[in-house]
A and B are shown apart, each in its own frame.
Chain A
Amino acid sequence: MSAYAIEVSNLRVRVRGLDVLRGVDLKVRRNTILVIMGPSGSGKSTLLRTLNRLTDFIDGINVEGSVVVLGRDVFTIDPCELRRKVVLVSQEPNPFPHMTIFDNVALPAKLNGIARNKQELYEVVKWALEKVMLWDEVKNRLRDYPHSLSGGQRQRLCLARALAAKPEILLLDEPTANIDPSNTFKIEESLRELREELTIVMVTHMPHQAVRVADHVALLYDGIIVEEGPAKEVFMNPKNDITNKFLRGAI
């Protein structure tokens, strides 16, 4: 088994004639948190979505290069199977409004056949909600609908929903962009604990968040990774001028 959960080489993505990624090389070690930083429009979300082939739903997209996830080429395996192992949490909280809190979290466990009976399903839901520190807040209202939750709680619910799929890789697209500091703290705390169980790739444009959670960081700029390495090393001693400017907020 490879030490890397994700191996990307020479990845080029073109959307309707526009180069979004221009030859990305990236390796992510198992059970680590990689934070991909970069200014808006640098291709961070596209890179993340290529890892579980959500890019399949973009019209006029052309993807070249190699993306190997968990030892398998993502372009040759069933995309649904891939997305059950490599789950993405979006920037905007999107719990299903017509399903209860419990059913939202239970859904992926049912889809993936993780729970065999009601008791097992309950255990999975409880485990996932505990992992995101939401269990104590919702344990008495699991039959409520998500609109009764705050924005931050909804995002943690989405994180719990993703965890209930028991993925091996978790992709996070600016998961704390729209939520308050208290919920941001709880999500970051959860991510640090989850590192023991899975590999996490997170996209953010906030360097200080990367400082708090990342093992490794990569800076994506104009479709190319200009610098990557252990978080401390990159933050303390950036080698690239663009990284330097980004960390100083100059770009």
Chain B
Amino acid sequence: MIFFSKSDKVTFYSILPLVVGILGFFLTIGLFTAYQALPSFMQFGSDLLITSIWRPADDPHLEAYGLAAPFIGSLYASTLATLIILPLSVALTFSITEILPRRIGGFLRVIIEIMGGLPTVVYGLWGAVVLAPYLRDYVMKPLHQYLGFIPIFSCRPITGYSVLTASLVLAVATTPYVTALLIEGYNMIPSKYKEGILCLGATKYEAFKLLFGLLKPYVIASSLLGFSRALGETTIVALTIGNTMRFTLCVFNPTHTIPSLIASQFESAGLYMYALPTLFAGGFLLLIASSVISYVGIKMLYAWRERVRV
């Protein structure tokens, strides 16, 4: 039983509408998206999840939609991006917190924070105009030529707009966010542990490695949050992934993600009976995936905070 003092009661009842409002807003978005998606789920059932097709038609009986490719494409591109983000962010965190002189590290941190706040369309344009042709000529073609026997490099790169390009640009755009989280987490480690390891004669690298072990759940949680952010990213992916309704393991192929599908089809979707509900269905799938991943990440963060309090 919770006992409140009179002033605490006033505070409690003052913030209650805000708490209820946030919960209500979250539920409303979820329920609204699900409600809007319902016609598509009813019409196409499990085909919506296991087929990859986007066929709008004036006659609703001829319409056919399947979201497997963009949904898997979303997960694939975000996973690849996270695999790039993680080592980059750890290396940047180590450099800024332990290696670089304080002033240079501080300056780099400011740059990273500015990069984290840049409009994603800037990254998207850079990816589409500069990175995609460069990657095609100097990375994808050699990889395909020499390592084409590996399934992820097995297809011939054509335009450069591909899962690889999208993942790289996503990684560049999301690394500042994850790095900022890691630096904050690393700086939160009580100084007694840092002193403890340095007292034993550890080098900066050994100390960082040990202290990062202390941060492991936090690192995983930050990666999941980064993954979640990449999963929902629209502009970058729409400009760099090639927007094709198919999925293969090969990273040189174009594909779609749910956000890129929504961005590219929304304008005309209202003309067809099931196109818009299908886009809502995609949004709903993304909302579920993103919520689950964020929830897992946040739970891990809480678990870590409990642990380092020892």
Q: Which residues of A contact B (CB under 8 A)?
A: 52, 54, 57, 59, 80-85, 87-90, 92, 94-99, 107-108, 111-112, 145-147, 158, 161-162, 165
Contacts and interface: CB of A to CB of B under 8 A. Distances in A.
B214 A165 contact: no
Contacts of A98: 213-214, 216, 307
B199 A87 contact: yes
Given A90-B192, A92-B192, A97-B307, A84 B200 contact: yes
Contact of B195 (A82, A84, A94, A146): A94
A83 B213 contact: no
B46 interface: no
15 contacts: A54-B195, A54-B198, A80-B201, A83-B201, A87-B201, A92-B192, A96-B213, A97-B307, A107-B200, A108-B201, A111-B200, A145-B310, A146-B310, A165-B200, A165-B201
A112 B307 CA distance: 27
Contacts of B308: 97
Given A96-B210, A98-B214, A111-B206, A90 B307 contact: no
Contacts of B102: 59
Contacts of B118: none
Top 9 closest pairs, chain A to chain B, by CB: A84-B201, A83-B201, A97-B310, A94-B192, A94-B196, A147-B310, A88-B199, A108-B200, A98-B214
A154 B232 CA distance: 46
B202 interface: yes
B165 to A, nearest CB: 38
Most chain B beta-carbon contacts within 10 A, residue among A52, A82, A107: A107
A179 B201 CA distance: 26
Nearest to B304: A98
Interface of B: 102, 190, 192-193, 195-203, 206, 210, 213-214, 216, 307-308, 310
A221 B190 CA distance: 30
A145 B310 CA distance: 10
B200 A161 contact: yes
Nearest to B213: A98
Contacts of A85: 201
Contacts of B201: 80-85, 87, 108, 111-112, 165
Contact of A87 (B193, B200, B213): B200
Most chain A beta-carbon contacts within 10 A, residue among B196, B197, B214, B216: B196
B199 A162 contact: yes
Given A54-B195, A80-B201, 15 more contacts: A83-B198, A83-B201, A87-B199, A87-B201, A96-B197, A97-B214, A98-B213, A107-B210, A108-B200, A111-B200, A111-B201, A111-B206, A112-B201, A146-B310, A165-B200
Nearest to B200: A108
A98 B213 CA distance: 7
Nearest to B217: A98
A180 to B, nearest CB: 19
A218 B96 CA distance: 41
A109 to B, nearest CB: 10
Contact of B199 (A81, A90, A96): A90
Contact of A111 (B195, B202, B310): B202
Given A96-B210, A96-B214, A98-B213, A83 B200 contact: yes
Given A111-B206, A146-B310, A94 B193 contact: yes
Nearest to A154: B310
A181 to B, nearest CB: 23
Contacts of A146: 310
A96 B193 contact: yes
A65 B192 CA distance: 28
A54 B199 contact: yes
A147 B308 CA distance: 10
A58 to B, nearest CB: 11
A54 B102 CA distance: 17
A47 to B, nearest CB: 16
A98 B189 CA distance: 12
Given A97-B307, A97-B310, A90 B196 contact: yes
A94 B197 CA distance: 9
B190 to A, nearest CB: 8
A95 B193 CA distance: 7
